[in-house]
Amino acid sequence: MPGNTFGQLFKITTFGESHGGCVGVVIDGCPPGLVISQAEIQTELDRRKPGQSSITSPRAEQDVIYIMSGISDGVTTGTPILLLAYNKDVKSEDYLNLKDLYRPGHADYTFQMKYGIRDWRGSGRASARETLARVAAGAIAKKYLKEKLNIECISYVEQVENIKTDIDFKEVAMKDVESNIVRCPDEKIAKKMIKLIESVKEEGDSVGGVIRGVIRNLPAGLGEPVFDKLPADLGKAMLSINAVKGFDFGSGFEGVSMRGSLHNDEFFTDKNGKIHTKSNHAGGTLGGISSGEDMHFRVAFKPVSTIMKKQNTVDVKGKKAVLKARGRHDPCVLPRAVPIVDAMSALVIMDHLLRHKAQNE
């Protein structure tokens, strides 16, 4: 079936295109009785929306979210929740010169091969505008996890091109992430990142980087031991985000340079009788099931495909062409991708929490 739905018990289905009438999501399986307001959802969307700083796309969308069903008097009813935001600042004419060209790095060609037709207006369904729906749904999942179990999903920009912070992820707080426009909690490094992105923007080019994700206060026992391992579902969630090219979990690829005697996380019991591990190279799971330690992972984003430099390509008939893009695009997607990583983390954990309850309680 078409891949527009994510999750098993906490299930979301997103809809809409970049230059269509609206973008939205249907959430099925949200437990009743959760107090959630439009303002709480909007706060998360404001972190993702374009035009929020000098290093993001200037598209002037306010992304005002409307609650159409499933929430009554500010409380979830247990029935399907429909959330949507109308597209207001649509300028499809910016894409007219690209209508018959295949843009390097974009999904134009593959969409044409799959469907025999494509929406040339801002990439249509392939646009990162679809992630608005994920962030809206993730806001509800984040609220439930925080309120019921004090679980926190927090991510931040760890690297832009070759500029990287070595800040300890265990010490990062949300206020630190939101303290600057690039969403790097290391103030000194953040300034360097911003300067680089501004320079790349002036050149008409783009740049990529890495987002570090952390999930705190997870209980032990969430996840499945085979195909639906917690990091496997988390990896699928992150790799489904536009522009993501890599995912590593725990020690990730760095673990290949370690011996087992160093990589194994030894157990100990704290003064309260709770079992912990001294280190956390495993990333918060063992055998695909949460261990009770913080989950931590990294997500690699490629440079944004739309750049203002001339590029060689072909048209829909296979003839050589030169592309010179125009329009409104991010020189670096990472600052706006942070709340998307947060949202997808929350959606994965929320789904596995409900699956665990269904099986064990």
Is position 49 annotated in a ligand binding site? no
191 annotated among ligand-binding-site residues: no
Quick one: pLDDT band at residue 1, thresholds 50, 70, 90?
Answer: low
pLDDT of residue 2: 73
Residue 321, pLDDT score: 94
Total Cβ atoms within 10 A of residue 124 = 20
pLDDT digits (tens, 9 = 90+) for 16-31: 988 888 999 999 999 9
Residue 234 φ then ψ, to 5°: -65, -40
Tell whether 13 is in a known binding site. Answer: no
**Residue 53 marked ligand-binding:** no
Mean pLDDT of 351-360: 95
328 is in an annotated binding site: yes
What is the number of structural domains in the chain? 1
pLDDT tens-digit profile of 211-263?
999 999 999 999 999 999 999 999 999 999 999 999 999 999 999 999 999 99
What's this model's pTM, rounded to 2 decimal places?
0.95
90 pLDDT exceeds 70?
A: no
Q: Is 358 annotated as a binding residue?
A: no
Residue pair 45/51 in contact by the 8 Å Cβ criterion: no
Q: What percent of the chain has pLDDT over 70?
A: 96
126 assigned to a ligand binding site: yes
Per-residue confidence at 56, pLDDT binned at 50, 70, 90? confident
Confidence class of residue 60 from pLDDT cuts 50, 70 and 90?
low
- DSSP state string for 85-127: EE--S--GGGGGGGTTB--TTSSHHHHHHHHS----STTGGGS
Instruction: Give the domain extent around 114.
Output: 5-360
252-294 tens-digit pLDDT:
999 999 999 999 999 999 999 999 999 999 999 999 999 999 9
Distance CA 135, CA 48 (A): 8
Residues 6+ apart with CB under 8 A from 349: 141, 145, 151, 153, 215, 218, 222
Which residue's entry shows tokens 């969430």? Answer: 222
Residue 127 annotated as part of some ligand binding site: yes
Query: What dihedral do alpha carbons 328, 331, 335, 337 form, nearest 10°?
Result: 70
122 marked among binding-site residues: no
The annotation status of 183 as a binding-site residue, yes or no, is no
269 is in an annotated binding site: no
Q: Is 302 marked as a binding-site residue? A: yes
Q: What is the DSSP string of 183-198?
A: --S-HHHHHHHHHHHH
pLDDT 10s digits, 159-174: 999 999 999 999 999 9
Tell me the CATH number at 308. Answer: 3.60.150.10
Give me 6's structure tokens.
């994510």
Report the percent of the chain where pLDDT is more than 90. Answer: 81
